[in-house]
Structure 1
Amino acid sequence: MRYFSVEEANRLVPLLTRTFERVRPWVERAQQLADTLVSGEGIPGVQLDTLREERDVLLERIRGELHQLTEMGLEIKGADGLVDFRAHRGDDPVFLCWRFGEPAVTHWHELQDGFAGRRPIDSPDDFAPTWLS
């Protein structure tokens, strides 16, 4: 399992921004298709098949883009641009947290807290550097 320092996480923000700029429209379209397929009212079967195929292609494309990030040790919490980085705050494992649109990794949270438990990073030095730092 890979752990990140604040500096290492911040070095990845430009890559994350580019990736989610590309992926977010696909996520939005896939959600629209899923909503349409759930209701399905008045849509002929052949058209439903076409919509399912488009949704499946988009989902595979999204998975492919995000897989590259998970291979780097990042944890994707939302395909619309929510990412956690495992880190150590003192002896405690925590997550550094980034959301699409943020210019840097400026928050962290306990492993069990999730996004709602985000707290500002007061000092990057509170988080242990890694051998990659």
Structure 2
Amino acid sequence: MRYFSVNEASRLIPLLNQTFEKVRPWVERAQQLGEELASLRSQGTRDAHTEVLREQHDGLIERIRAELRQLQDMGIEVKAADGLVDFRAQLGGRTVYLCWRYGESAIAHWHELETGFAGRQRIEDPEVFAPTYLS
């Protein structure tokens, strides 16, 4: 399991921005296709057009997964494909998450493992989070 310091996680923001700028339009299109497919399914429609839409949807989902897998391989936990990630960190001897959402310019929040995004707290002093071997 990989842990990040605030400084180390902050250095990855340009990569996160680049990744989510690429992925977000794919996510939006996949959601649109999913809604269209659900509507067609509820109408009982199954034809060549439906199959083309399904292939487009599935292809986009695979592209999204492949792109986000690169972040996950680095130890970043992707919580939402449109740009919400957590970094495991150590605070006072316990594991917590440093939290970042697309559009934020800094790693400025953290939360307990079980509280999620709703439990975000502002980082007052980045130095209270234990440094990692990469910091």
Per-residue displacement from partner, 1:8-39 (whole Å, max 9, x unpaired)?
Answer: 00000000000000000000000000011111
Q: Give the partner amino acid of 1:80.
A: D
Cα RMSD (Å): 1.1
Q: Give the partner amino acid of 2:92.
A: G
1: distance between equivalents of 2:114 and 2:55?
36
> Is 2:33 the counterpart of 1:33?
yes
Q: Secondary structure at the match of 2:78?
A: strand
- The aligned length equals 133
The TM-score normalised by the length of structure 2 is 0.96
The TM-score normalised by the length of structure 1 is 0.97
Q: Secondary structure at the match of 1:38?
A: helix
> Is 2:6 the counterpart of 1:6?
yes
Q: Give the partner amino acid of 1:35.
A: E
2: distance between equivalents of 1:109 and 1:42?
44
Q: Secondary structure at the match of 1:129?
A: coil
Partner of 2:117: 115
Q: Which runs of 5+ in 1 are unaligned?
A: none
Partner of 2:89: 87
Find the partner of 2:78 among 68, 76, 79.
Answer: 76
Q: Shift of residue 113 of structure 1?
A: 0.3
Partner of 1:124: 126
Q: Give the partner amino acid of 1:15.
A: L
Q: Which runs of 5+ in 2 are unaligned?
A: none
Per-residue displacement from partner, 1:55-85 (whole Å, max 9, x unpaired)?
Answer: 0110010000000000000000000000000
1: distance between equivalents of 2:3 and 2:127?
15
% same residue: 62
1: distance between equivalents of 2:121 and 2:78?
19
2: distance between equivalents of 1:44 and 1:125?
58
